[in-house]
Chain A
């Protein structure tokens, strides 16, 4: 029996706090429920916001890094090798330059026919990414996008007829690339540039190292080639991407602020509950002080009580919020990968800590008032 005694021994403040909470279970549960709801709101909205942002950024991919230079509407039909050199100078140290020839053409495969954009490029890998058989240096044959390959019933080794010429499929692009880019990997057909007549290029693509580098390249290409007449049109999505990112940032901030308000309300309810608790237990607190428990020890006990409410509510709220967002991801088009990112772990941790902190702050004044009251006063009850 002696072994069961002295449960207060190890952590007196914590044990006393737990016992006190068990007195008014419903009241404690309701106060914790406030924190559960608040933390749930912060976690679910915060994680969803991050997931949406991640999904959108993934979708847009390296789009912001891409600069596409093409002949201006009222300019030349194609870009010549001098234009290419100018662009290469502008892009020096900032990214790689991929000159492209392109034409719309009828493509016939073993299982169908399609009208698509046919590109001529030396390095299709730099443009559309890798895949089975996609060469680094494109000498012969055709490399096709996934979607095109499917609709033509073609795979590596099949023969395609493009504008009357036969080409063997040497590779298929694996990735679809960003959906908003004017250059679509999934529906592309890429031939060696020699297959095109004429020496000019229909487009020059610059894959910059970052969106700011892309901005700089776009600006200097404009300066160099459009100084006198509008010779080229420069297409860059980096600024749009920045705006999109900024929008998501704003949206996230707004959602978190709304959720934060509910947590603050929860803090007020903790404050209220602690105020009731200490006024009901005034006499007891007086006894504690009279028998030699220090003010800070009483304070610690009461704060442990408030923090326990916050920590238990916060843990439950975090768990429910995270499960909710995962459930949403599993049942919608939101990819689970976008949910399970490190930022969301931070969101959970932050919301949990915020819940605990809100409860602690809510308990601070009532605890202080009770612990610092002269024991003679509190003993009068």
Chain B
């Protein structure tokens, strides 16, 4: 499934075309990304590796429509994203993108199941059953009512993964999905990610961890804002 080269736009949920991102800082202009071309295809797991400060998080933010490029364009199913209102971008994230953050970023006052259904909490209908099923799928069926401080790091990460899937996303964007986990837990999480990709979800995982690359269909490397195949 990794070798889908003739992907039509339907199979390319997200694409960065000639993207450059600069930040104006106190010490002058910093170029975080430089002429990056990057495609996420449905069903593949892409690992993005690179040293700290190489622009990995910036790339993830651009893919998640959280930020705009200075040059170039971001395409969503073949359509340029530029010019979409904050509301439309939020809708895209709500309906088509799943986020897994490095520090899990769970809401401490909500139970596991409530955290999982948070992205759809303001939509009509009740996704509680689906949230419980997702948690069961990641092995937390017995921890539905636990709050984050009652869960271990690996369990929190799995709650975060379940949360990223509640909206049936086309793309899963994961920042250091194994960053805070021991090896065994990391393997469990990565197997879950593979399983998700096999259901047609495009996964982009930004990582320092070689373990992630073992589970990826392809790995790209970002050095000083320049992307190349690893």
One digit per residue, 1 when the CB lies within 8 angstroms of any chain B CB and 0 when it does not, for chain A 280-312 equals 000110011111111101000000000000000
Are A22 and B109 interface neighbours, CB within 8 A? yes
With both beta carbons as reference points, the residue of chain A lying nearest to B118 in the complex is identified as A291
Contacts of A6 in B (CB 8 A): 113-114, 117, 126, 128, 131
Are B144 and A292 interface neighbours, CB within 8 A? no
Are B128 and A284 interface neighbours, CB within 8 A? no
- State whether the Cβ of A19 lies closer than 8 Å to any Cβ in chain B: yes
- State whether the Cβ of A216 lies closer than 8 Å to any Cβ in chain B: no
- State whether the Cβ of A379 lies closer than 8 Å to any Cβ in chain B: yes
Whole-angstrom CA separation of A291 from B95 in the bound complex: 9
Are A294 and B90 interface neighbours, CB within 8 A? yes
Are A293 and B122 interface neighbours, CB within 8 A? yes
- State whether the Cβ of B67 lies closer than 8 Å to any Cβ in chain A: yes
Contact of A23 among B66, B108, B114, B145 (CB under 8 A): B108
Are A20 and B109 interface neighbours, CB within 8 A? yes
Contact of A376 among B66, B90, B164 (CB under 8 A): B66
A contact face: mostly helix, strand, loop, or mixed: helix
Tell me whether A2 and B132 are in contact in the complex, defined as CB-CB below 8 angstroms, given that A23-B108, A290-B99 are known contacts: yes
Whole-angstrom CA separation of A6 from B115 in the bound complex: 10
Are A8 and B121 interface neighbours, CB within 8 A? yes
| CB-contacts of B128-173 with A (<8 A) | 128-129, 131-132, 144-145, 163-164, 167
Whole-angstrom CA separation of A78 from B107 in the bound complex: 91
Whole-angstrom CA separation of A294 from B119 in the bound complex: 10
- State whether the Cβ of A124 lies closer than 8 Å to any Cβ in chain B: no
- State whether the Cβ of A228 lies closer than 8 Å to any Cβ in chain B: no
Contacts of B119 in A (CB 8 A): 291-293
User: How big is chain A's contact interface, by range?
Assistant: 20 to 34
Q: How far is the CB of A312 from chain B (nearest CB, A)?
A: 18
Q: How far is the CB of A124 from chain B (nearest CB, A)?
A: 74
- State whether the Cβ of B225 lies closer than 8 Å to any Cβ in chain A: no
- State whether the Cβ of A375 lies closer than 8 Å to any Cβ in chain B: yes
- State whether the Cβ of B82 lies closer than 8 Å to any Cβ in chain A: no
Whole-angstrom CA separation of A105 from B128 in the bound complex: 92
Contacts of A16 in B (CB 8 A): 107, 109-110, 121
Are A379 and B66 interface neighbours, CB within 8 A? yes
- State whether the Cβ of A5 lies closer than 8 Å to any Cβ in chain B: yes
Tell me whether A4 and B93 are in contact in the complex, defined as CB-CB below 8 angstroms, given that A20-B109, A283-B105, A291-B119 are known contacts: no
Contacts of A289 in B (CB 8 A): 90
Are B86 and A292 interface neighbours, CB within 8 A? no
- State whether the Cβ of A26 lies closer than 8 Å to any Cβ in chain B: no
Are A287 and B107 interface neighbours, CB within 8 A? yes
- State whether the Cβ of B64 lies closer than 8 Å to any Cβ in chain A: yes
Contacts of B90 in A (CB 8 A): 289, 292-295
Whole-angstrom CA separation of A289 from B128 in the bound complex: 20
Tell me whether A5 and B105 are in contact in the complex, defined as CB-CB below 8 angstroms, given that A12-B121, A294-B122, A376-B61 are known contacts: no
Sort A-B residue pairs by CB-CB distance and give the 3 closest, nearest first. A292-B94, A6-B128, A19-B109
- List 13 interface pairs A-B (beta carbons < 8 Å), by A numbering: A1-B144, A2-B128, A5-B131, A6-B114, A6-B117, A8-B114, A8-B118, A284-B107, A289-B90, A291-B163, A293-B94, A293-B122, A375-B66
